[in-house]
């Protein structure tokens, strides 16, 4: 007994508050043995012997569940459920998987997918397209997607507004504050993505204008040169004809 503590009566039952143990359902090790991952009741836990490895990891899923698997993604692509496959790849958040799914979608499906695209993944997909424009040569293909997304999702770009659900129902100040903070974070990310998109489009606009101007000057030079050569050839032919007439 500690000093100052009271001994409980026999009628009283002392309960010990203990935290439930964490259950580990599966453990997998990396090939080199420096990392291992545990699937637990608290989530996916990754451990590494190298301190900087976990900071450089690329696996950062969003809203992942049991349906987010490569088999489901491939199956939806084969069934031509392109929107479902694209959303699953965005949830997995693997750049290579998103790129493969994105390139499997035909151009004619872009308007339909953009019109029904979930707003929760809008800025993530928009950022992916901006990255694709930067590193690939399929500028026209990416610009088609960009145009369709902005065309059908302008409501996502309008900024911080309370939804109709929050306007019609009465919520506590704490709930309203949480919603406003989440909405503010989402819009800050959206503004950053839109700024990046504007800078990329501005760069391509300037580059294309420069190329077009250079091509126009080159075409004018070639046209003028060809006309001059043709005129010189006509003059030489006339001179030869006159010399022939004089000889006769």
Q: Quick one: pLDDT band at residue 31, thresholds 50, 70, 90?
A: confident
Question: What average pLDDT does range 133-139 have in this prediction?
Answer: 79
What 3-state DSSP class applies to 125? helix
Decide: 157 and 194 in contact? Cβ < 8 Å: yes
In terms of pLDDT, which residue wins out, 116 or 42? 116
Give the bridge partners for 27, in sequence order: 38
Q: Tell which phi-psi region holds residue 77, choosing left (phi > 0), alpha (psi between -120 and 50) or beta.
A: alpha
pLDDT at 16: 57
Helix (H), strand (E) at residue 36: strand 35-40
For the record, the structure tokens of 63 come out as 């809203």
Residue 89, burial from CB neighbour count under 10 angstroms (0-12, 13-18, 19+):
buried
In terms of pLDDT, which residue wins out, 190 or 116? 116
* 2: DSSP letter: -
Return the number of other C-beta atoms located less than 10 Å from residue 97's C-beta. Answer: 17
Q: Give me the DSSP letters along 74-128.
A: HHHHHTT-HHHHHHHHHHHT-HHHHHHHHHHS-GGGHHHHHHT--GGGHHHHHHH
pLDDT at 160: 42
Give the bridge partners for 35, in sequence order: 48
pLDDT at 11: 47
In terms of pLDDT, which residue wins out, 246 or 127? 127
What is the tens place of the pLDDT at every residue in 161-208? 444 344 444 445 455 445 455 555 556 666 777 777 777 777 777 777
pLDDT at 241: 65
pLDDT at 119: 84
Q: How far is CA 175 from the centre of its chain?
A: 30
Does the CA dihedral 224-230-231-232 come out positive or negative?
Answer: positive
What is the tens place of the pLDDT at every residue in 204-234? 777 777 887 788 888 888 888 888 887 777 7
pLDDT at 7: 56
pLDDT at 102: 92
Return the number of other C-beta atoms located less than 10 Å from residue 126's C-beta. Answer: 24
In terms of pLDDT, which residue wins out, 195 or 25? 25
- Is 90 exceeded by the pLDDT of residue 101? yes
pLDDT at 159: 54
């Amino acid at each position: 007994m500690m000093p100052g503590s009271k001994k409980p009566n026999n009628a009283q039952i002392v309960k010990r508050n203990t935290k439930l143990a964490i259950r580990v359902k599966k453990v997998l090790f990396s090939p080199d043995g420096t990392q291992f991952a545990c699937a637990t009741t608290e989530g996916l836990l990754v451990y590494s012997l190298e301190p900087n490895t976990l900071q450089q990891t690329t696996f950062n899923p969003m809203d992942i569940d049991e349906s987010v698997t490569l088999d489901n993604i491939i199956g939806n692509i084969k069934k031509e459920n392109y929107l479902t496959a694209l959303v699953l790849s965005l949830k997995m958040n693997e750049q290579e998987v998103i790129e493969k799914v994105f390139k499997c979608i035909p151009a004619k499906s872009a308007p339909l997918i953009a019109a029904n695209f979930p707003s929760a993944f809008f800025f993530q997909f928009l950022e992916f397209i901006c990255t694709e424009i930067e590193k690939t040569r399929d500028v026209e293909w990416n610009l088609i997607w960009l145009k369709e997304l902005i065309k059908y999702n302008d409501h996502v770009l309008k900024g911080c507004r309370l939804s109709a659900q929050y306007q019609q129902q009465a919520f506590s100040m704490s709930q309203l504050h949480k919603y406003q903070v989440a909405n503010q974070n989402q819009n800050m990310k959206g503004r950053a993505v839109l700024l990046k998109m504007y800078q990329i489009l501005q760069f391509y606009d300037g580059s294309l204008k420069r190329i077009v101007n250079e091509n126009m000057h080159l075409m004018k030079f070639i046209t003028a040169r060809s006309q001059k050569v043709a005129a010189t050839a006509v003059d030489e032919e006339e001179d030869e004809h006159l010399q022939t007439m004089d000889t006769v």
